[in-house]
Chains A and B, each alone.
Chain A
Amino acid sequence: MSEGVQASSDGAADHKRTVMSVLAPLLVGLLSIGGYFRTPPSSPLIADVLLFAGIALVAFAIALVVLRWPIRDPRDYYGGLALLGVAFFMLWAGSDLPGTRGFAFGPGTGPRIFASVLAVLSLIVMVVGMFAQGPGLERYAWRGPFFITLGTLVFAVTIRQFGLVIATFVSIITVAAGSSESRWIETLIWAAVLTGFAVLVFPIALSLPLQLWPSPNLSFSTFLNFR
């Protein structure tokens, strides 16, 4: 659990960290200002909120530079900032929906309420992260997440056109590449065994409608249209 990399005393790393902590709010702020220009005219309030919040974030980023403010708990700081971005994004994404008419909620009212509360809460998380000392960011491993995601995507793209056997086999091998402990021959055998098991369980025993082999009218264009 405690594999987290503590904030190093190394000057270069510290510098990189400070730059990140300024760039991140700047990016969210600029995106938010961008959202102002892409908001439909039917909801001027959301547009104003996005513009105001965007300007405030840009100003905040500048203030960070001027004050040379160190981020004490980067986990909370970036976590809150990202959620703030999500809240703004959702606000923007729902801006085409009609809001409250009279005392009847519109489709847009719920999302607006929830997004606003989320924005406030994530702002609190972010601000607390600037002041209270925290354990420092944990290191991200790239190999596991990358191959797990890739293997899943491979499965999603191939299952329709190539059938269960090929999709399962290829995705298991891709996923297995995510562990540094995998051995190739073992993985190949294991993938074959698992594929056989999957074929026995899902289409045969549970009679789920899964196609086993590549469809006969397979072509490149149908492959692209995998949905």
Chain B
Amino acid sequence: MTDLLANLALGFGVAFSPANLAFCMLGTLVGTLIGVLPGVGPLATIAMLLPITFGLPPVGALIMLAGIYYGSQYGGSTTSILVNIPGEAASVVTTLDGHQMALQGRAGPALAIAAIGSFFAGCVATVLVAALGAPLTSVALLFGPAEYFSLMVLGLIFAVVLAKGSVVKALAMILLGLMLSMIGSDIETGQSRMSFDIPEMADGIGFVTVAMGVFGFAEIMRNLEHTSSRDVVKAKLTGLMPTWPDLKACAPAIGRGTLLGSILGILPGGGAVIAAFAAYTFEKKVAKDPSRFGRGAIEGVAAPESANNAASQTSFIPLLTLGIPPNAVMALMVGAMTIHGIVPGPQVMTKQPELFWGMIASMWLGNAMLVVINLPLVGVWVRLLRVPYRLLYPAIMMFCCIGVYSINNSPFDVIMTAAFGLVGYWLSKHDFEPAPMLLGFVLGPLMEENLRRAMLIARGDPTTFLTRPISASLLALATLLLVIALLPMIRSKREEVFVED
């Protein structure tokens, strides 16, 4: 306990330095600014803003990136409430009741409760990250290559099971990601793999290139198919603060959302999206009068918003302790950390305590800033939302192009991004989810390395994954999950097949 306090004190010492405070503030502000744009989720936002952190020291850069992440998520909620267009998947549920509230002239309280709920969830989750960080790190030391490999398999299976849509297609996407990550130099032998003697491919395909292509570009291509008709809430925002009865109604909802979100966030593959959905469904179940939901119930905003913020914060736990990104956004954070020369994993905490704890402290600070910055700026966001899409998307495209180019100063990367944009567009037309692909892409090299090492240690005996107890139980859990997810799907597909004939 005293350790925890000492560590947090160290962290706050780092986070409260004027420079880091400024980075945190700038991050949340810019993150919200981009996140507010309809159709731009946290992933695209972070990818787009990654270059602006290049010049910073590592601690500052990560603090800023974390700020961008929370900011973009909060920006997404703002868009959902005011325009009924979710900026990203996690805020889809917020549109249900949030936009209804806005139509009833209660956009102010909806936005405020989203910020307050997020802040509360952020506080709890920060403590949780701090408390769980140390014990989990010691667990990580028990892990050998076989266990790491099995853990990653479990993580990927989690991602598949919790994703929406077909399990087999999500699995195929993971494999496609793993496949793409193999391109470039082999880590152990240095041999160039599948790069067709193109010098730019020798280093492999950049993570930002793939992420920006399949999430940023493809999303714009899809948005352009529909003529834009956005109805930004016209009513003037009056009475920003929620009333006392509002707060009383929300308090338990915020608590439940935080709890649910924190748990789901730690699980690999979970993350903000599922947390928000689960919290909303749960709230509807426990409500005395479920029919109010979907018609502007304030709990329907408070619970999912708290849950998604709690989850987005606790999803840092597997990343910082085990070095395994549990979802696509965290995968992007791995990319960002590697650019700054930090290898995520248990050693970060012991070797760079000021980075680890500074980042955790700045999570809390970032959440506090969201409340302080955003409530007064709601008017600005509303005005930004009135900018027509035909003007917005060239600006987004410009930032993406310059951003990708500036990572390596390589025009080839820009070309690859364009190619992945088309790939992403095609994938979306065939109902393939790009997120599992990205996760596979990031975990690919790690998985291959650990698989190789484990096999080498076991002298080529593949049963090593089953004879080592931790590894075996992780794999058993993965299999169980997969079976549970596949059974209902097989049954429904079979019905579909037989109905037709």
Contact at A111–B182, with CB atoms within 8 Å?
yes
Q: Which residues of A contact B52 (CB under 8 A)?
A: 206
Contact at A145–B422, with CB atoms within 8 Å?
yes
Does B284 interact with chain A (Cβ within 8 Å)? no
Contact at A118–B429, with CB atoms within 8 Å?
no
Contact at A94–B390, with CB atoms within 8 Å?
no
Q: Which residues of A contact B415 (CB under 8 A)?
A: 152-153, 156
Q: A133-B500, A207-B55 are in contact. Are A111 and B193 (CB under 8 A)?
A: yes
Name the residue of chain A whose CB is nearest to the CB of B459: A103
Tally B residues with Cβ within 8 Å of A: 75
Q: Which residues of B contact A178 (CB under 8 A)?
A: 224, 393
- Interface-central residue, B176, B182, B425, by most chain A CB under 10 Å: B182
Contact at A138–B429, with CB atoms within 8 Å?
yes
Contact at B431–A118, with CB atoms within 8 Å?
no
**CB-CB contacts of B408-421 with A at 8 A, as 1s and 0s?**
01111011011001
Does A21 interact with chain B (Cβ within 8 Å)? no
The A interface, classified by DSSP as helix, strand, loop or mixed, is helix
The interface-forming segment of A24-32, A33-41, A70-78, A214-222 is A70-78
Q: Could you jot down 27 A-B contacts, CB within 8 Å?
A: A72-B500, A83-B176, A103-B460, A104-B452, A105-B455, A110-B182, A111-B193, A121-B175, A132-B497, A143-B224, A145-B425, A149-B418, A152-B415, A152-B421, A155-B401, A156-B411, A175-B393, A176-B394, A178-B224, A178-B393, A179-B224, A179-B390, A190-B394, A194-B398, A208-B51, A208-B54, A227-B200
Known contacts A90-B182, A152-B418; 5 further A-B pairs (Cβ under 8 A): A76-B166, A79-B430, A83-B172, A168-B398, A227-B412
Whole-angstrom distance from the CB of B143 to the nearest CB of chain A? 20
Whole-angstrom distance from the CB of B156 to the nearest CB of chain A? 12
Name the residue of chain A whose CB is nearest to the CB of B500: A133
Does A210 interact with chain B (Cβ within 8 Å)? yes
Whole-angstrom distance from the CB of A102 to the nearest CB of chain B? 7
Does B381 interact with chain A (Cβ within 8 Å)? no
Complex CA–CA separation, A123 to B497 (angstroms): 17
Complex CA–CA separation, A210 to B220 (angstroms): 26
Contact at B421–A148, with CB atoms within 8 Å?
yes
Name the residue of chain B whose CB is nearest to the CB of A92: B194
Whole-angstrom distance from the CB of B393 to the nearest CB of chain A? 7
Partner of B432, one of A79, A115, A143, A155: A79
